[in-house]
Chain A
């Protein structure tokens, strides 16, 4: 019985940590998107010629440094997209800390498949 209680507590920890990691990602990405939106509305333009916007990481980053609204929004969106992947990475660490080797393995497999799907995608 005592063991069962302990196991439940462990899972509470896992949920708290994984939840926090998502919260962190959401707050950061939402803040960046809001900043970009405010600049976009204030200036009335995206900062790029016509209705274009950057589509490579380097051009987005250069735009961010030049405080161009569209580039800042895209950076926020990239951070938002990375949040679930970050969450899978955190899960590996959390299950590792709980010494739940089966789920360290499962989370790790998911992480590897995700990363390879990015490589496949290109």
Chain B
């Protein structure tokens, strides 16, 4: 029992580290690791992965906020879209065939992966014309890039597009009980043209709120097993604290190169699931 807990703890440290660097919840590692490596049933694995989303978010956000990478205003504003989306997802979950949604969102992710490949040589966004609404909402900002060793000011464009994709991210979270960090990073990086590090940190920041709404429901439904979720929570908290430090020392190009294959993997997985292919 102790050995199993330690193994789960170690994998969770890794999941939390990668999740905090990429702005994802770590669920893409925790769920398959728990089911495939430890034979834990999918229902408890999803419950534990929701815990990992919240732990990654809160653990990493402490460091990202202290180092001023997170854009709180962007995060708070877009949380309106993700929370309304999450409720929509919960309501429509019985009305619209999920397979159709899987395919639509899978294709959308694939498209954004391609858009990211085009940006693979870009370290920080070039001149971005600020969207009118972005100025009203005071979304522009700046952060200190530790690898470039200088302050990077940035503008925010396409607020409506970003808000729309965030709404979609919320719908997916509500439907599937996931943090949908890949959509959040995409909305900010591809649509709103924020620097990648700001996108990742802000996605991390927001994800806790998305996860919390579902996690409460899962916990009281009995889908969160304490013996599994406890080492996941602790491991991910440790991992995300470390990851938030590593991320700042990485080049944005490197982070993007890590991100693109993950994005393609998640996209293909969604499309395959939508087409009803069983392995």
Contact = CB atoms under 8 A, between A and B. Distances in A.
Contact of B66 (A19, A69, A110): A19
B86 interface: yes
Contact of B233 (A22, A77, A84): A77
Nearest to B50: A81
A71 B97 CA distance: 38
What bracket does the count of chain B residues touching chain A fall in? 35 or more
Contacts of B87: 113, 116-117, 120
B226 interface: yes
B230 A81 contact: no
Q: For this complex, into which size category does the number of interface residues on chain A fall?
A: 35 or more
Interface string A16-40: 1011001101100110011011001
Contact of B216 (A18, A53, A113, A121): A121
B221 interface: yes
Interface stretch (B116-124, B161-169, B183-191, B206-214): B206-214
A28 to B, nearest CB: 11
B217 interface: yes
Contacts of A120: 87, 90-91
B215 A81 contact: yes
Majority secondary structure, B binding face: helix
Interface of A: 11-12, 14-16, 18-19, 22-23, 25-26, 29-30, 33-34, 36-37, 40-41, 44, 46, 53, 55-57, 69-70, 73-74, 76-78, 80-85, 87-88, 91, 102-103, 106-107, 109-110, 113-114, 116-118, 120-122
Interface of B: 1-2, 5, 51, 54-55, 57-59, 61-62, 65-66, 68, 70, 72-73, 76-77, 79-80, 83-84, 86-87, 90-91, 137-138, 208-209, 211-217, 219-222, 224-227, 229-231, 233-234, 237
Q: Which 8 A-B pairs have the closest CB atoms?
A: A84-B208, A19-B65, A73-B226, A113-B83, A55-B222, A121-B217, A70-B226, A117-B213
29 contacts: A15-B66, A19-B61, A19-B65, A19-B66, A23-B62, A26-B58, A36-B226, A40-B230, A41-B5, A73-B227, A74-B219, A77-B51, A77-B224, A77-B229, A77-B233, A78-B216, A80-B58, A81-B51, A81-B212, A81-B219, A83-B54, A85-B212, A91-B76, A110-B80, A110-B209, A113-B84, A117-B86, A117-B87, A121-B214
